[in-house]
Amino acid sequence: MEDRLRVGVITSPHGIHGEVNIFPTTDDPQRFKMLKKVIVDTGKDKIEMEIGGIKFFKNMVIATLSGIADRTQAEKFRSADILIEREDALPLGEDEYYICDIIGFKVTTDEGNELGILDDVLTSNANDVYVVKKPDGKEILIPYTKECVLSVDLDSKNIVVHLLKGMI
């Protein structure tokens, strides 16, 4: 399990006073209002910053972060990940998982056949889609629905799926 979770990505500066536009990668962008600090991961450095203010516009979060005073400084953080410590994360409900915790799990069918390894999870408005990498390198896309994903076992690191006709 990872100690830090990504909740957003800085896309660009916002205005001239150092605010940044953040694309949220969390299910609940309103959670930014509850955060007091974040870790900004530039790829080279991980910098802890306090949140000074949060606004929302369309699908973006607009934030004021400590240490960013103007547009020029904000530009340096373009494409940086916004991380939080796991203990600052919202509690999960039943049958909810952090994506980073299930990547790499073995995926098997309800008939006992091994399909491959969970390589990625694509998010969409309708439902998430599991990207399963087969041993031959090909990918299978499995929608995260009750009909297709039957169980996720965190202890055995195994996901059991039901393949609908025509999926492979």
Q: What is the pLDDT of residue 1?
A: 61
Q: Is the pLDDT of residue 116 over 90?
A: yes
Average pLDDT of the residues in 111-140: 92
Q: Model confidence at 149, in pLDDT bands (50, 70, 90)?
A: very high
CA-to-CA distance for 90 and 129, rounded, in angstroms?
22
Q: Is residue 36 part of a domain?
A: yes
Structure tokens of 168?
A: 């492979």
pLDDT top residue among 153 and 90? 153
Q: Is the pLDDT of residue 167 over 80?
A: no
Mean pLDDT score, 3-21: 95
Top-confidence residue, 165 or 70? 70
Q: Are strands 106-109 and 158-161 parallel, antiparallel or unpaired?
A: parallel
Residue 93 lies in a domain: no
* 121 strand-pairing partners: 130
Contacts of 97 (CB under 8 A, 6+ apart): 152, 154
User: Is residue 166 situated within a structural domain?
Assistant: no
Domain count, the chain: 2
Least confident of 25-29, 31-35, 50-54, 150-154: 25-29
- State the Cα–Cα distance between residues 43 and 15, nearest whole angstrom: 24
Domain boundary among 38, 53, 88: 88
Task: Specify the pLDDT at position 153.
Answer: 93
- Tell me the CATH number at 126: 2.30.30.240
Residues 14 and 70 in one domain: yes
What is the mean predicted confidence (pLDDT) over 143-163? 94
As a whole number of angstroms, the distance between CA 67 and CA 74 comes to: 9
94 within some domain: no
Q: 11 and 81 share a domain? A: yes
Q: Which residues contact 108 (CB under 8 A, 6 or more apart)?
A: 114, 115, 158, 159, 160, 161
Q: What is the pLDDT of residues 44-99, one digit of tens each?
A: 999 999 999 999 999 999 999 999 999 999 999 999 999 999 988 888 888 788 88
Q: Specify the amino acid at residue 102.
A: I
Tell which of 61, 88, 115 closes a domain. 88
End residue of a domain, out of 64, 88, 112 = 88
Q: Is it the case that residue 2 has pLDDT exceeding 90? A: no
Average pLDDT over residues 19-25: 95
Cβ-contact 107, 130 below 8 angstroms: yes
Residue range(s) defining the domain that contains residue 124:
99-161
- How far the first Cα of the chain sits from its last, in Å, is 31
Higher-scoring residue by pLDDT: 166, 114:
114
Tell me what percent of the residues of the chain surpass a pLDDT of 90.
Answer: 78
